[in-house]
A and B are shown apart, each in its own frame.
Chain A
Amino acid sequence: MELKITDLTKDFRKTRAVDQVSHTFQSGVYGLLGVNGAGKTTLMRMLTTLLNPTSGAITWDGEDVFKMDKEYRKLLGYLPQDFGVYPDFTVQDYLMYISTLKGIRPAAARARVQEMFHLTGMTQFKNKKMKSLSGGMKRRAGIAQAVLNDPKILILDEPTAGLDPSERIRFRNLISELAADRIVLLSTHIVSDVESVAGQIILMKDGKFLVTGTSEEIIGSCPDRSWICNIPKDQVLTCHQRYRVANVKTLADHAQLRILSANEPMPGAVPEDTSLEDVFLSYFGEKSGGEDGNGMV
């Protein structure tokens, strides 16, 4: 079970969305981290055959996935970022329809849909129309449709975007449950999501893979480290201009800053353990404050 991308490139007119990326995915959860516009969605759309690459190859166990066509798509489960639904279908209709599209026979589909209701806790909502579901419930229906065919490759594009904290935790746990014996590729710009479920992390920027590895390896690769500095409140702005500030905590008589720097930024700065969020900020800098950045610094 090996999904391999080799020199994968995608150009949109003058923009290069994905730039010669290569990687081999084997069983496990992969977290794809990057800011908006990093090329994550384009990469995922190529992996799901929704887009043809400009150059490079995607192979499954050595076979070109575009030549495999239906055989490859049989292995796929996909939850898109902009997950749309058929508004007038009930949840049950929706899942039965997707089962049909996935080539699951009706009797097997009925049983599988029931399983999905239990897995996602949607049994009581099965007769609700899709348009009446909350964002969190829609995402649950989304994950249910993605795993209906018990896919070998599960691709989840920003699955927790727009969810409240409790829904996000529920969702992360669900992904962990589903991770056994399959490749799960989870794209997000919410660091804590990746940190909690992904065995392997890929940092993506400007269409390229910056760093890949485990959480520890990624943290170890970061040239900066974290420092805690206590400064007078009126110097906060100056520090913002001089250093990469990961966090500001305003206390009664002073401010406490978390600064990312290779060297001691100021006398009295106390070194701290570097987190994945610090690494994210170190690599992506100002751009990392995109929408939904509640998992970041």
Chain B
Amino acid sequence: MVWYEIKKVLLRPSCQIALLLLLLLSGRFCIQVMWGSENAYWINEDGQMETGYNAMKKLRAAQAEWSGELNQELLEKALTELKQAESEGESHPEDPDYAYKRCQGLQNIRALMNNAFKSNYVWKYEDWYLAETLEPEQLSDFYENRTRQLKDWLYDENSSGYQAFSEQEKQYLISCYESLETPFEVGYTTGWDMAYRISYYIILYGSILMAFLTAGIFANESRWKTNSLYFCTVLGRQKGTAAKLTSGFLLTTIVYWGVLLTVNLITLGLMGFEGGSCPIQADYHNWNRIYNITFFQRSVYALADGYLLWMFLSAFVMLVSAASGSLSLSAVIPSLLMLGTDFLDRHGYVEKLSDVIRLFPHKMATAYGNESVVLYSVFGKIMPPITIQRVLYFCLTILMAIGCYQIFRRKQVR
């Protein structure tokens, strides 16, 4: 029965178009991220910026020389190299990029140093040349500075962090920072980073296309006027309805993992698997993140969260589809929930609801990419939004599946 339900969906030309669009969209995101200069680039001998696969190969080779445990020795070695390149650069006034080109493999370490020694707790360093001004003996404070900056931000009465958190929340944040294992490993992590970014786009925008696939599972029975026959069969109201739900979830599962695993494997295959064991803080963009996880773990969690998000949306789409019998309504309402809240959130239209909006499903796709720190207290326990979202959307998915089953099996046909 499940097979026939899946067949009903897959034989529809509109669903075939949606699937094709999903594949095209995935391909587009792969190209956009892998070849985009904002993600990785290489400055060649002529001073031209290269992007894409070839740039990645050069960057990968250059960073390999600077990979390993980021301890005092490696920090000092990097600092020496930076200073030396800077001084040699002064004797090459015809080439303003001389120092940068020479140190392309250690630019991430330089940015990490900038972060560690910036004057206050801001999300990104402000002075690119800060690292060159450091003395080797200062580098022993590299890791301690991260926690110190946080504490300053949380307890300085003039800082934004002072009012933003309760004492319990402050202690939670400090404990997250202190529990990061140091010295951590650094290296080439661009492959994992790209796979994560591509996954984010596919999870967010692909879910809209997925809604079109599952929207018809229940609604088409009334649209095609097959409902009167369907409901008077022996199994239509019970097993038939369960089969519809199963097919919706199964289709979501197959499409989700089929697309996401393929895209991740292709991206990592092209851009490199190495760096998966580095903590996310080893990339200077993530210096202030509170999650103590590796790049590999981040990808696994993001994919699992994305899967939960798609399952939740599928359940929601099927619920609307079963209750309304309208194909368009069931495809549009969940899309509005995803993109509408994302839009409101981005443009700050609902300042007062911002704490609630952060728990909306679209935020699950960006759980580890959120720059601002938001914490919730549940029964006296402090936790980040993603912990609540996981429980919330898991429960909602189950409740909506039950609701959908109960509504549809009791349908009357006038």
- B228–A101 CB distance below 8 A: no
Q: Contact at A100–B224, with CB atoms within 8 Å? A: no
Q: Which of A42, A87, A88, A101 has the most CB atoms of chain B within a 10 A radius of its CB?
A: A101
Write the chain B residue with the least CB distance to A44.
B228
Q: Which residue of chain A has its CB nearest to the CB of B225?
A: A84
Question: Contact: A82 with B7, CB < 8 Å?
Answer: no
Q: How far is the CB of A186 from chain B (nearest CB, A)?
A: 17
A93–B7 Cα gap in the complex (Å)? 10
Which residues in B have their C-beta under 8 angstroms from that of A103? 233-235
Distance in angstroms between the alpha carbons of A101 and B244 in the assembled complex: 12
Contact B232 A48 (CB under 8 A): yes
A93 to B6, CA, bound (A): 13
Q: In the complex where A98-B229, A98-B233, A101-B240 touch, is A51 in contact with B11 (Cβ < 8 A)?
A: no
- B236 in the interface, Cβ–Cβ < 8 Å? yes
Q: Mark B285-318, 1 if CB is under 8 A from A, else 0.
A: 0000000000000000000000000000000000
Per DSSP, are chain B's interface residues mostly helix, strand or loop, or mixed? loop
Which of A55-63, A71-79, A112-120 is found at the contact surface with chain B?
A71-79
**Once bound together, how far apart are the Cα atoms of A180 and B12, in whole Å?**
40
Question: Which listed residue (B7, B227, B240) contacts A89, Cβ 8 A?
Answer: B7
Q: Give bound CA distance, A82 to B229, whole Å.
A: 10
CA A101 to CA B240, docked complex, whole Å: 7
Given the known interface contacts A78-B228, A86-B224, A89-B7, the answer about A101 and B234 at a Cβ–Cβ threshold of 8 Å is yes
A275 within 8 A of B: no
List, in ascending order, chain B residues with CB within 8 A of A42's CB.
414
Contact A70 B238 (CB under 8 A): yes
For chain B, residues 1 to 46, give those with C-beta under 8 angstroms from any C-beta of chain A: 1, 4, 7-8, 11-12
Q: Are B238 and A73 in contact (CB under 8 A)?
A: no
Q: Which residues of A contact B8 (CB under 8 A)?
A: 86, 88-89
Q: A237 CA to B232 CA in the complex, in Å?
A: 49
As a 0/1 sequence over residues 221 to 247 of chain B, the CB contacts with chain A under 8 angstroms (1 = contact) are 000111111111111101010000000
B233 and A82 form a contact (CB under 8 A): no
Q: Which residue of B lies closest to A81 (CB)?
A: B228
Contact B233 A73 (CB under 8 A): yes
Flag if B413 contacts A45 (CB, 8 Å).
Answer: yes
Name the CB-closest residue of B to A12: B414
Contacts of B229 in A (CB 8 A): 78, 80, 83-84, 98, 145
CB distance from B251 to the nearest CB of A (A): 16
The chain A residue sitting closest to B220, CB to CB, is A86
Judge whether A101 and B235 touch: CB under 8 Å.
yes
Report B332-353 residues with CB < 8 Å from chain A CB: none
Within 8 A of A (CB), among B183-234: 224-234
What residue in chain B is nearest A157 (Cβ atoms)? B228
Contact between chains at A50 and B233 (CB < 8 Å): no
With the chains together, A100 CA to B240 CA distance in Å?
Answer: 9
Task: Evaluate contact between B224 and A84: CB separation under 8 angstroms.
Answer: yes
Cβ contacts under 8 Å, B1 to chain A: 97, 100-101
- Nearest to B1 among chain A residues (CB) is A100
Is B133 part of the contact surface with A, judged by Cβ < 8 Å?
Answer: no
Q: Are A84 and B234 in contact (CB under 8 A)?
A: no
By a CB distance below 8 angstroms, the chain B residues around A82 are 225, 228
The answer to whether A49 has its CB under 8 Å from any CB of chain B is yes
Which residues of chain B come closer than 8 Å to A86, judged between CB atoms? 8, 224, 226
Chain A residues, Cβ within 8 Å of B227: 84
Q: Assess whether A101 is in contact with B236, with CB atoms less than 8 Å apart.
A: yes
Distance in angstroms from A112 CB to nearest chain B CB is: 14
Q: Which residues of B contact A149 (CB under 8 A)?
A: 234
The reply to whether A97 and B4 contact each other, CB–CB distance below 8 Å, is yes
CB contact between B232 and one of A12, A49, A88 (< 8 Å): that residue: A49
Residues from chain A with Cβ under 8 Å of B232 in the complex: 48-50, 73, 76, 78
User: Interface 1/0s, chain A 18-62, versus B by CB < 8 A?
Assistant: 000000000000000000000000100100111110000000000
A102 interface residue per 8 A CB criterion: yes
B2 nearest in chain A by CB position: A100
Enumerate chain B residues within 8 angstroms of A145, measured Cβ to Cβ: 229
B267 to chain A, nearest CB (A): 35
Known contacts A48-B232, A97-B1; 10 additional CB pairs below 8 A are A49-B232, A51-B412, A73-B232, A84-B229, A85-B224, A86-B8, A88-B12, A93-B7, A98-B233, A101-B240
A positions within 8 Å CB-CB of B: 12, 42, 45, 48-52, 70, 73-74, 76, 78, 80, 82-89, 93, 96-98, 100-103, 145, 149
Would you mind naming 30 contact pairs between A and B with Cβ atoms under 8 Å apart?
Answer: A45-B414, A49-B232, A50-B412, A51-B412, A51-B413, A52-B412, A70-B234, A73-B232, A74-B234, A82-B225, A82-B228, A83-B229, A84-B225, A84-B226, A84-B227, A85-B224, A86-B8, A88-B12, A89-B7, A93-B7, A97-B1, A97-B4, A100-B235, A101-B230, A101-B234, A101-B240, A102-B234, A102-B235, A103-B234, A103-B235
10 closest A-B pairs (Cβ-Cβ)?
A: A84-B225, A88-B11, A101-B233, A48-B232, A50-B413, A80-B228, A103-B234, A84-B226, A84-B224, A97-B4
